[in-house]
Amino acid sequence: MNESIDHYDSDNSPYSIRPLPPVLRHGLAAVAAMGFFSFFTSLGLLTFLTYKLITWHNGPPREEKKDPIAKVESPPPTEAAFIIPNEWSASQQELSEKPTKETWIQRAINEPPNQFLVLIFNLLLADIQQALAFLLNVEWLTRNAIEVGTKTCWTQGWFISTGDLASSVFITAIAMHTYISIVRAKMLPTWAFHTAIVMMWGFVYGTGILGVIVTENGKNDGGLYVRAGAWCWINSKYQDIRLTLHYLWIFISLIWNDLCWIAIWKSIILQERKHLNK
């Protein structure tokens, strides 16, 4: 079933619409333009951060601090020539000066990248998915229609769901990481930090997959991802799915963010007062 320009429901219609009403066409053009801008700026910054991470990884390792006691107590080979042959001491010195090349995993373990930078990297990945969802509105403008049941409609609904949730999750992660670093003055172990990132992405995609499984991809209601006003998203017949797998977690994220930043602000104020009272 299609909606016509004379029967346009801007809120909860799950049907295709052809042609696009002027108000919807103009709105989609603005949203698509912002999606285009957001997608390529986020992609550009992500490319830059990727380049910096690769440059850091391929760069020289940090110099280890030498033991000053060992340096004083160990005589140079020239002074020990009466005990050690010159040929042997020279060969040993050459061996000791050869740098041992670290593997990719060893370098990542011994000198892990900045955790805050990694969180920004993942936030950009989430933002790219979110921007891509709204960039797909170009397809509706090209067709002069929003067509339910197409791959574009399903993809847009998927990226809106996962992109919105992933952005909220990693914004919360940045707030919590900042709280731990500033208020608690602690740093997460590398293994725990990487595990948390994997779990966050698993949660984001897990909720999306769960929605598809529970509704059987909207088998009995015209599809899970259908037109929801101006673009494709979760079918309005699945309000419980919208709430439990999307809105609820975004609201929790907003509240948790506020609590973290308020605690950080209070901590900074208290530290400043202590500093002034000294």
Domains of the chain by residue range: 8-64+113-277
Helix axes 115-135, 190-215, angle to 10 degrees: 20
d(CA 227, CA 32): 16
Phi, psi torsion values for 88, nearest 5 degrees: -70, -45
Residue 81 in this model has a pLDDT that exceeds 60: no
Which residues does 252 contact at the CB level (< 8 Å), separation at least 6? Answer: none
Mean pLDDT of 141-167: 95
Round to whole Å and give the CA distance between 178 and 124: 18
Token pair 């830059």 in the structure block, residue = 48
**Segment 61-78 mean pLDDT:** 52
Task: Assess contact for 15 and 148: CB atoms under 8 A.
Answer: yes
Mean of pLDDT values over 29-52: 94
pLDDT score of 43: 96
59: pLDDT strictly greater than 70? no
User: Does pLDDT of 151 surpass 90?
Assistant: yes
Residue 157 predicted with pLDDT over 90: yes
Q: What is the 8-class DSSP label of residue 146?
A: B
| 174-199: average pLDDT | 93
At 268, which helix (H) or strand (E)?
A: helix 248-277
pLDDT at 229: 86
Residues 6+ apart with CB under 8 A from 253: 168, 169, 171, 172
Instruction: Judge contact between 29 and 230, C-beta under 8 A.
Output: no
The predicted structure's pLDDT at residue 58: 73
Binned at pLDDT 50, 70 and 90, residue 82 comes out as very low
CA separation for the pair 15, 43 (Å, rounded): 33
User: Does residue 18 or residue 161 have the better pLDDT?
Assistant: 161
Task: Determine the Cα–Cα distance for residues 165 and 133; give it in Å rounded to an integer.
Answer: 13
Which amino acid, one-letter code, is at 230? A
Confidence class for position 114, pLDDT limits 50, 70, 90? confident
Q: Write out pLDDT tens, residues 248-261.
A: 999 999 999 999 99
At CA 153, angle to CA 150 and CA 154, rounded to 5?
90
Considering the domain 8-64+113-277, what is its CATH architecture?
Answer: Up-down Bundle (1.20)
Residue (of 148, 130, 126) closest to 139 by Cα position = 148
Average pLDDT for residues 10-20, to the nearest whole number?
78
Count Cβ atoms below 10 Å from residue 185 Cβ, excluding itself.
Answer: 8
Q: What is the mean pLDDT of residues 207-235?
A: 93
pLDDT greater than 90 at residue 103: no
Cα–Cα distance between 18 and 118 in angstroms, integer? Answer: 44
pLDDT, position 6 = 46
State mean pLDDT over 45-64: 78
Residue 30 has pLDDT above 60, yes or no: yes
Strands 2-3 and 16-17: what pairing? parallel
What's this model's pTM, rounded to 2 decimal places?
Answer: 0.79
**Is 151 exposed, middle or buried (CB count within 10 Å of its CB: 0-12, 13-18, 19+)?**
exposed
Residues 6+ apart with CB under 8 A from 67: none
* For residue 113, cis peptide bond before it (omega within 30 degrees of 0): no
What is the overall mean pLDDT for the chain? 84
